[in-house]
Amino acid sequence: MGALCVLLSGGGNVTEKGIHTDFRNNMTYGEYLNLEQVLSSQTRLSGHHDEMLFIIIHQVSELWMKLILHELNTAIDLIDKDELPEAFKMLARVSRVQTQIIQAWDVLSTLTPAEYMEFRDHLGRASGFQSYQNRLIEFALGYKQPHIMKIYEKDPALAKELKAAYDAPGIYDVAINALHKNSFPINPELLNRDFSVTYKGDPTVAAAWLEVYRNVDQYWDLYQLAEKLVDIEDSHQQWRFRHMKTVERIIGFKTGTGGSSGVNYLKSVLDHRFFPELWDVRTKL
């Protein structure tokens, strides 16, 4: 907190006698955060003024995604170990981080179509579509598409990491297992299914969640887990929507630099539901 307090003070005259000023043998704030490396990583290929905005928005979003993955993966482990209350803090933090990356689109939308065209060609085939952290988040949420994996073959180590996440159970898989551990009659085929296949829904899961929502006091932890998951999916879909509208605002219906159909592709994924029964239960209650 010390570094944060000094940062928030806004500089000015330093009158506190205890403030450290000799760092010849001590680590500085900048060294701790590797700021020299971080702040020297914004290389404009075109030299155009607005390319700096484009780079920073995407780099900041990737940093937030790194934190989302850090929290999501820990939450998956905790839920798998029946430590649901401990996982709730992580899931709540994910939701807060999601508000940051949603708001990032508002900043990027200040980039006009004419400004973007000044440097778009310098991106080559690089595209946010290729963001491997975004893919890891989708995998953790249970959305898995086989054609995506080919994008990452260039980097064997990264491809291996993605394949492991692709084959692993996502957060909804461990949530379904939590229902099973609480004696709900879950379809046994779901408990050891091929987790590389995107989950589509199951009547036994729907019935279990309906029972949880009808008996909140009895199943408080499971109810809390369900609502935390709904928070995350809701925010993720808001992020997807703002992504789609920002792209439409800047490039219209042009093909994406990575070869995707751009806005049309982004619109198509808006209909996907990560946790279908948690949305259906609202109608059935």
**Tens-place pLDDT, residues 40-66:** 999 999 999 999 999 999 999 999 999
Nearest in space to 246 (alpha carbons), one of 266, 226, 228, 217: 266
Average pLDDT over residues 244-260: 88
pLDDT level of residue 20 (50, 70, 90 thresholds): confident
Phi-psi region of 47 (alpha: psi -120 to 50; beta: other; left: phi over 0): left
E strands within the chain?
A: none
The pTM for the full model equals 0.91
**250 assigned ligand-binding residue:** no
**257 assigned ligand-binding residue:** yes
pLDDT level of residue 38 (50, 70, 90 thresholds): very high
DSSP string, 270-284: GG--SSHHHHHHHHH
For residue 21, pLDDT over 90 is answered with no
Cα 95 to Cα 82, 139, 159, 273, distances in angstroms: 21, 17, 28, 17
**29 assigned ligand-binding residue:** no
For residue 7, pLDDT over 60 is answered with no
**Tens-place pLDDT, residues 180-205:** 999 999 999 999 999 999 999 999 99
Cα 267 to Cα 41, 239, 253, distances in angstroms: 32, 12, 11
pLDDT level of residue 268 (50, 70, 90 thresholds): confident
In sequence order, what are the residues at sequence separation of 6 or more whose Cβ sits closer than 8 angstroms to the Cβ of residue 75? Answer: 87, 90, 91, 94, 171
Supply the angle between the helices 203-214 and 171-181 in degrees, to the nearest 10: 70
**116 assigned ligand-binding residue:** yes
Contact of 226 with 182, CB cutoff 8 Å: no
Cα–Cα distance, 79 to 74 (Å, whole number): 9
Half-sphere exposure of 21 (CA within 13 A, CB side): 6
Radius of gyration of the chain from Cα atoms? 22
Give pLDDT, residue 240: 95
**Tens-place pLDDT, residues 85-137:** 999 999 999 999 999 999 999 999 999 999 999 999 999 988 888 999 999 99
**Tens-place pLDDT, residues 73-85:** 999 999 999 999 9
* Residue entry with tokens 């290389």: 43
**274 assigned ligand-binding residue:** no
Cα 118 to Cα 53, 114, 115, 122, distances in angstroms: 13, 7, 5, 9
Give pLDDT, residue 4: 59
Cα–Cα distance, 58 to 65 (Å, whole number): 10
Give pLDDT, residue 17: 82
**54 assigned ligand-binding residue:** yes
**282 assigned ligand-binding residue:** no
Handedness of CA 278, 281, 283, 285 (dihedral sign): negative
Give pLDDT, residue 2: 60
